[in-house]
Amino acid sequence: MDLNSTLTLRTAAGALAVLALCGAAGAGENGTHGGPLPVNEWVKLEEWGLGPREGATLVYCRSIKRFLVAMGQQARYKQESTPYSEMTFNFEKRRWENALPKGGEGWGGVTGPVNAPVNAPTFWSGPGYQASDMRRGKDGSLRPYLHGGYGSHVFHLFAYDFDRERVFYGADIEYDPVARVWTKLKTQGHPGTPDLPPLKLDKPVEPCWSQSCYDPVNKEILLFGGTKVQTETASPGTWVYSPAKNEWRKLSLGSEELNRLAATAEALQKKAHVAVTACRNRYYRTELAKNAGKKPPDLLAGRGGAGNSWVEGTEWLYGGVGFSGDTAYGSLQCGCPNMRAALDYFRRTFAPETQHCSVAVLDANGNLIMRIGKYGNVDDGVPLVKEGGPPKPRSVGGDEVALFYAPFVATHTDRRLFIADSGNQRLLSVKLGYRAEERVNLNGKGGSQ
């Protein structure tokens, strides 16, 4: 969720709810609207007080009787143009206010941009991915650094503890909205604990895209769903955090008999995984001693964590399609926009060449037949069907397919190629044809061909 500063609220006696968050990116002072919010009435606020950020949390904190916005990425914006990382909503004055910590009064005003000092990274752990930048100041206080990168995205990994009046982030970070203090917890157990032989990891990883919520009956925090954890399904499963015991435990659901059968099935899956991994190593081998220094690698060391690799036993290889995401099985890195090829009915491969702004068409033996597309923006390329496209498209020549960053493709038999160009934020439907075509009469009447 992208948070800016358009907030629609409805208030009622003893109740308060958020309808929507939207608006254009921007930062600056609040608007001129003032006075308490009317009861039982929808009010749209456009006051620019939150500043631009992506992937932040919005939670109502009963202890301060305010909404709290925290975390989120601000790396795309200048630090001196953004408000503080934690902000609360003042209902009386209808504005977002910087929740500056003790000792930070001189960093900026109640509203608008602040200039908090930047400290060296303390540790990497937290809400979004396994790398959320938390930094400790000279006074020992811990603060999130939202200009550090994508790791400060929270997604749904947060929950408000109504009994302890704390906001719990990720698997081990806590915020006290009254004291305005962040705490790194040393918990027992972790929902990102790997359980996938024969892979061995030194430490757990932070689950991605999981959901957290508070259980007021048992006074515990639930975490469920998600991925990027080294298990058979890549999901952490369902975990429970007990603040009283400061420990995580995996929740077992269902009857004892069902759990026993599930455990048996899981054990068989692990054995199968070991066998599949052994077979896979025949074709995918990393840094083999017999190859190192003797011939160029087939796969270069990538962001997924694998070293230079040599591939054995394949039918064919086609290099240069580049950025394909996780290059090592079991990698901890995220490769969301990775290249994903597709086949048509004639075993031809359509491989996105993201670094070349094109799609390579290969025959069944891996030979290059042609390339589709070239670099271009949204208003480049003259389409066959102009309706719904740019008003004045510029011709780029050739097939008139303009691409910026197009990692995903799909085929409809051998007649059409669909390209997801995320760089230009659009889907393209490309009609496929042949240089030479011959029609054959199949029913003798000229109707069907």
Q: What does the block give as tokens for 394? A: 């510029």
Q: Domains of the chain (ranges plus CATH)?
A: 2-185 (no CATH), 257-317 (no CATH), 339-449 (2.120.10.30)
What is the CA 172 to chain-centroid distance, rounded?
Answer: 20
Comparing CA positions, the residue from 214, 195, 213, 197 lying closest to residue 205 is 195
pTM, full prediction: 0.62
Residue-level pLDDT at 72: 82
pLDDT in tens, 65-116: 999 999 887 766 666 678 888 999 998 888 899 999 988 889 999 998 888 8
Comparing CA positions, the residue from 44, 35, 41, 47 lying closest to residue 10 is 41
Residue-level pLDDT at 34: 56
Pairing of strands 349-353, 374-375: unpaired
- Environment class of residue 225 by beta-carbon count within 10 Å: exposed (0-12), middle (13-18) or buried (19+)? middle
Comparing CA positions, the residue from 365, 338, 362 lying closest to residue 351 is 362
Q: Is there a cis peptide before residue 198, judged by omega within 30 degrees of 0?
A: yes
User: Phi and psi for 136 in degrees, rounded to 5?
Assistant: -110, 130
Low-confidence ranges of the chain (pLDDT < 50): 1-33, 123-131, 303-305, 325-333, 448-449
Residue-level pLDDT at 336: 63
How far, in Å, CA of 24 to CA of 147, rounded? Answer: 19
Residue-level pLDDT at 67: 93
How far, in Å, CA of 198 to CA of 435, rounded? Answer: 51
Residue-level pLDDT at 46: 54
Residue-level pLDDT at 25: 32
**CA 8 → CA 11, 44, 45, 111, distances in Å?**
10, 5, 6, 19
Q: What does the block give as tokens for 330? A: 């079991």
Residue-level pLDDT at 29: 38
